[in-house]
Amino acid sequence: MDLALKNRIAVVTGGSSGIGLATARLLLADGARVAICGRDEARLSTAKSQLGNSDKLLAVRCDVLDAAAVKDFADKVAAWGSGHVDLLVNNAGQGRVSTFGDTSDQQWRDELELKFFSQILPIRAFRPLLEKSDAPAIVGVNSLLSVQPEPHMLCTSAARAGVQNLLKSLATEFAPRIRVNTVLLGLVDSGQWQRRFEARTDKSQSRDDWFASLAFQKHIPLGRLGQPEEAAKAIIFLGSPAASYINGASLEISGGVSRHI
């Protein structure tokens, strides 16, 4: 299927690693021009090298919780991309493991700010550029926790649910001009899962065995964690002109682990 992405301008926040990096890589492979951002300069430089460092790629250091930095990023994309953007992928932020009893007021504030404003600030900054596209789209990368909360991730689950409500509302407010959709991720192999593997109690357990055990414990029907590229393919489809009649939708990328209808 032709996703009609050739020469489209796409922006991916959190694009220097994991799902964001995989999304940028696939967009470039489909002929899009891609702007990525990340907070870590070294990781951003490594991502540029991995992505080919071509004239179809723009990499900018940016903290998506800093409104001025996000606006500066949007200005740089506008100058680089002929004044418009076709796709915004908001992909910043990881989960917090905590219960109600061990989450402080400040941790609540930090988590709510991260989850909400990593969506709000880029959308606010890039909306004028999206308005100039003939097929603009926003894809918010969210979590299955938004509809299926976990008690050991209570703070993140609550924040994710709010973000899901926000993006669903924007799909109505921005229609018919800009489509807004979300992906709901289950367990996807990422840096945070790698760090948990490295901190495992049984150091004799191999990576493959540890991840297989994790999938079993989490009751994932497909018997494994997802790969970043699998999430990226769904993100790209929802953000492409090929999905032109899909708006306000949520696509689960979870290996079937969800329990709701």
Report CA Rg, the chain.
18
Q: Which of 32-41, 68-77, 95-104 has the lowest mean pLDDT?
A: 95-104
> Would you state the pLDDT for residue 204?
86
Range 60-66 average pLDDT: 97
| CB of 143 closer than 8 Å to CB of 98 | no
Q: Which letter, b or e, does each residue of 98-135 get, where b requires 16 or more Cβ atoms within 10 Å of its Cβ?
A: beeeebeeeebebbbebbbbbbbbbbebbbebbeebeb
Element (H, E) at 90: strand 87-90
The token duo for 241 is: 């002109």
Element (H, E) at 60: strand 57-61
The distance between the two most distant Cα atoms of the chain, rounded to a whole number of Å, is 55
- Whole-structure pTM value: 0.95
Q: Which residues contact 48 (CB under 8 A, 6 or more apart)?
A: 57, 59
pLDDT tens digit sequence for 247-256: 999 999 999 9
Task: Tell me the β-bridge partners of 59.
Answer: 36
201 has a pLDDT exceeding 90:
no
